[in-house]
Each structure stands twice: as C-alpha cells, then as structure tokens.
Structure 1
Amino acid sequence: MGNRTMAKELYDEMQHRGLQPDCVAYTTMIKGELKLGDPSEAIGMKEEMQAKGFLPDLITYNVLINGLVKLGKLDRADELLQEMRRNEYVPDHVTYTSIIHGLLMAGDLKKARDVFYDMKEVGIHPSVVTYTVLIHSHAVGGMLKHAIAYLSEMQNEGVLPNVITCNALINGLCKERRMFDAYNFLAEMKKK
C-alpha cells in the first residue's frame, strides 16, 4: 500500500504545482493499479486521462488489456479491444497475444484459435510469444497434435522457437510418455 500512497502523493504534488500528467504518466499509473490488482482504479485513471483531453494510445490499451486479462477480466478486456477499434487504433501482436493468453487461461481454446486466425487474417504477424502461449496451452492440455501443428506453422512463417517454446513441447511430449520423440525434438533443436 505504501507505493500506492507515495504515487498518489506525487500525483497530487504534480497537480498542485500545475504540472499535468501526460499519456505516459497516466499509463504508468494505470499499470501500477493493475499490478496492485485494482482494475476499477485503472479504468478510473483511463477515464480521468480522457476527461483531461489525453487519448489513450496503443501502449495504454495494451497495458490495460494485458492487466485485465491477468486479473481474469476477459469481458472487460474485450470491451477495451472493441473501444480501440472504434477509436481507430489498430491492435498489434501484443494486444492479440494478451487476449489469446487470457482465453487459453480460461480454457477457451477454440475461441483462442479463432482470435489467432483473425489476427493473421487482418495482417498481424504472430510473434514467438503468440505461438509459445498456444503451443504451451495445447501441449500441457493434452492436445499435442495441435501444439506440433502450431510449431510447424511457426517455423513455416519464419518465426524461430525459443527455449520456452521448446520446453513447452518437450514437457507435452514427456507428459504423454513420448520420451523418444522428446529426445529427437531436443536433438533437432540443438542442430538449429
């Protein structure tokens, strides 16, 4: 709570001295509220920001959406995604990956896949993080066939798997007692 109090005091002091926070300052405060688990305060900060004439930018929206997803507030995150679009902001791979991750955490793999393919359809290229969250969720969820398909698609798109991606697939293979396949996959990745 001390950090929130200090932040509030600094904010009040800025106001008292006639200094108005800008988009970056508001986004930082929004991120802090979300880290403290207070989505209402974070949304309130966004609304205050807008009332003072500062429009949220892509980073502000991504911070809000990612924070809300982490707090399990998928409906609110989706509302912000729709608001972004209405305000003519183009969601990027960070925005989409946050939504996909939230859907996967909620167990809605089908909707996560739909969002993933919508992302690609509008021309947003998935990052290694996007593919990794899909591979991990499918591998640990017993849908190894899908995880392997995402890995193949990822490589075909020229996106290189990282250590986390490889670990997710190896864990999925081991979970299904496919040790030989896990070993072969590891050996193949070491060659690259």
Structure 2
Amino acid sequence: MYYKACKLLGLEKNPSIVFYVILAYRDENSVASVKMFKVALNLCRAAKYEKLGLWLLRKMKEFNCRPDIVSYNVVIRLVVEKGELDEAMELMREMGLIDLYLDMITYISMINGFCDVGRLEDACQLIKCMKGHGCLPNALVYSTLLDGVCKHGSLEKALEFLGKMEKEDEDCRPNVVTYSTLIKGFVERVVI
C-alpha cells in the first residue's frame, strides 16, 4: 500500500511533499496524530528516505506526539539500510531514555545491519544485550546472525552457532529458515 502511495504522490521525484504536509499542519495549528506520523514514516520507508524519516521522528515532539516503538523501528531500519549504524545505535539509546523497550524488530534490524557491513562481533554483542534486557533471541535472530556469519565470517563459526541453537530452548532451535541460510552460505562459498 505504501509503495503505491509513494508512486501516486511521486515521492521518488519529490520527497519534500511529506515535509510540506507536516509544515502545513503546524502552520495551520492542525492537530496531528501519531497515526499520521506513522503513515508518513512508512511512506519514507517505502521510498527509502532516511533523512526525512529522521526529521519526522524529531518533529513528532513538536506536535505533542510521543514516538513509539514502531516509529523508532521504522527510522532505525531506514538508517541501518543506509549503513548509518552509529546513528541507529544513538536512536536505540534515545529509546531507552524515553522508556521505550527495544523489541525483536529493533534487534533484528541492528543485527542485520552489523552483519551487512561485516561487524560480526557487534552483532554478537547485541544478542548478549538482548538477553540482558529480557528480550530472548529466537530462531529468526540467530538465522539473521548466521546469514551474516556465512557472508562475512567463517563457515566453521556458522556451524558453531548452529550447535548453540540446537542446545537452546524451542524458540531458538534451528528451523527451515536456519538450514536454508546455512545451505545458501555453504553453496555460495562452494563448500558442498
């Protein structure tokens, strides 16, 4: 839906439309809602405009709208996709300051971002951090990490993670995604 809206609005050619709509709300003293901002943030996500998404997140406070976990996750994902991991980490810290608890989506976005740029140690640290904050990693989290290890690390390390997963509780046990990720990693490395 958001991709179609982006096309209809011509956001690819003119991302400032969202910017001007928000400013018009402010200039006319119109009431804005968190939902309106979420729609605008999802338009930014669909068009891959991280700077505009970050600007929107900051503007929410001006309209007495408290950003929620979904708003932050959209912007974190946008920032991570642009490779701005330090900015994304800062957003995570900011969430903690306003009593928003990081969820599985936040962690998966960050782990994926660290893996994409080969920062595997940072990705592993996030899994430890998750556990420390009571957000227990599941098979999807480990599969995301395994994908990064297969791309940038060693296949031996990937097998080591697989072994750890097999010893974890049911939510962390390897599944079809896990095995497909490993097979793909091995095939791409021409090991099989």
Q: For this structure pair, what is the TM-score category when the shorter chain's length is used for normalisation?
A: 0.7 to 0.9
Match of 2:96 among 61, 85, 96: 85
1:29 is aligned to 2:27: no
1:164 is aligned to 2:177: yes
Instruction: Find the aligned partners of 2:88 and 2:153 in 1 and give their Cα distance.
Output: 27
* Cα 1:167–1:51 shift into 2, 3 Å: same
Note the aligned Cα RMSD (angstroms).
2.8
Matches within 5 A, 1:32-181: 32-155=43-166, 156-158=168-170, 159-175=172-188, 178-179=191-192
Task: Identify the range of structure 1 (152-161 vs 66-75) with the bigger mean alpha-carbon deviation.
Answer: 152-161
**C-alpha offsets along residues 54-73 of structure 1, whole Å, 9 cap, x if unaligned?**
01001111111111111211
* Cα 1:128–1:25 shift into 2, 3 Å: farther
- TM-score in terms of structure 2 length: 0.79
8 Å CA contact 2:118, 2:152 repeated in 1: no
* Cα 1:147–1:26 shift into 2, 3 Å: same
Instruction: Find the aligned partners of 1:176 and 1:8 in 2 and give their Cα distance.
Output: 44
Greater relative contact order (Cα < 8 A, sep 6+): 2
Q: Equivalent residue for 2:4? A: none
- TM-score in terms of structure 1 length: 0.79
Task: Identify the range of structure 1 (111-120 vs 138-147) with the bigger mean alpha-carbon deviation.
Answer: 138-147
8 Å CA contact 1:31, 1:67 repeated in 2: no
Q: Percent identity?
A: 24
Instruction: Find the aligned partners of 2:18 and 2:119 in 1 and give their Cα distance.
Output: 38
Instruction: Find the aligned partners of 1:9 and 1:78 in 2 and give their Cα distance.
Output: 25
Instruction: Find the aligned partners of 2:69 and 2:107 in 1 and give their Cα distance.
Output: 12
Instruction: Find the aligned partners of 1:176 and 1:37 in 2 and give their Cα distance.
Output: 31
* Cα 1:89–1:36 shift into 2, 3 Å: same
**1:154 shift after superposition:** 2.5
Aligned positions, number: 178
8 Å CA contact 1:84, 1:91 repeated in 2: yes
